[in-house]
Structure 1
């Protein structure tokens, strides 16, 4: 599986994503007589909003595919998959409360789908964890979600450049100097983590290339050049 390339053609993703949503809510305990399709459609509409360039349905599909690889490490794979659906369900590049609003959306929607309170709370906790991507030791659900979300950092230099360009497009309203400053701060925060990836698979396959890509982008930003 190509873990690094952000997909740009979302034409054929929706049927597969609807099927994935149905499987996820079923595995999480939703009653068989409740139709989850309207919730899938609302979430997919949110993920396809025009202000998104990287945080799109393609990103959602990629995160779910990476969770498939990492799922044996999770204590509650069903909760992790639902958290992936909600983790960027609310996304405005000019707002700082996206994760909190996304978690609150999960807290409203999942009980309506018949998901029990404990699993709903776990999904919301995981969504909030994507603010820092720094799960506590032993938090295997958090490790899987965060690793899946960050795996894009481990692509080839060309794939990473495409990802970085998509992020820049999302922040097109920000002047270049301000973007460089803010993006550099994000990159430093990530590089300062003792480990970017916590699962065995992520550590073995994604840590080294991701750090190389982050360091290269940071160097390009701080020198005034475009990354990639």
Structure 2
């Protein structure tokens, strides 16, 4: 997504939440975070892909501004050695929204949406389902992009010995493949489900 499109999405999200203005410095800081050197997949490329999907599917959202901001913040904190990235990202989002004078209930909903990207439970509610489908859209990408994604994820965890990293990664992909449905929203399911399953099966086989 081009820089102006990112900025337009950011401004529209804050406007939808009723904020007096969008914090441009925060927008710049978030983009800087997504450009940190330890990142290979959780980068501006990933954020841009997510926001592009959002622009296509945002009419499905009950509160589109909240979904957009949850996407902006969902990987704002990304420490490959930590296990609380989503919690720290969600706290940052909540604090930023409250600081902008937006009602607390919106801040709590965005916090919950960011926490849903842990992928440890089936999402509930239209906004959470849309958000998670968007976050998982990479699984249904064309084979070249999916293979690039797999290389990027392995690069982020290159410090983990191969004999440990490959079985862990294979188990993660198998959990997605074992779901009754990977995508919950009808259009993304129709567009991505079959390709995601083919990508996952191919990657799992390659790591066997």
Report the TM range for the smaller structure's normalisation.
over 0.9
Match of 1:90 among 77, 81, 85: 77
Match of 2:130 among 136, 144, 149: 144
| TM-score (norm: length of structure 2) | 0.95
> Is 2:56 the counterpart of 1:69?
yes
2:10 corresponding residue in structure 1: 21
Structure 1 position 23, deviation (Å): 1.6
Poorly superposed stretches of 4+, deviation over 4 Å: none
CA–CA separation in structure 1 for the residues paired with 2:100 and 2:35: 22
Structure 1 position 35, deviation (Å): 5.0
Structure 1 position 133, deviation (Å): 6.4
Pair 133,147 (structure 1): closer, same or farther in 2 beyond 3 Å: farther
After superposition, residues 89-168 of structure 1 pair within 5 angstroms as: 89-132=76-119, 134-137=121-124, 139-168=125-154
1:5 corresponding residue in structure 2: none
2:197 corresponding residue in structure 1: 211
CA–CA separation in structure 1 for the residues paired with 2:68 and 2:7: 13
Larger RCO, structures 1/2 (Cα 8 Å, 6+ apart):
1
Structure 1 counterpart SS, 2:136: helix
> Once superposed, what is the RMSD of the aligned Cα atoms?
1.5
CA–CA separation in structure 2 for the residues paired with 1:110 and 1:20: 16
Structure 2 counterpart SS, 1:206: helix
CA–CA separation in structure 2 for the residues paired with 1:35 and 1:199: 29
Pair 109,76 (structure 1): closer, same or farther in 2 beyond 3 Å: same
Structure 1 position 86, deviation (Å): 0.6
Match of 2:159 among 173, 179, 189: 173
1:225 corresponding residue in structure 2: none
Structure 2 counterpart SS, 1:196: coil
Match of 1:190 among 162, 170, 176: 176
* Matched pairs, number: 208
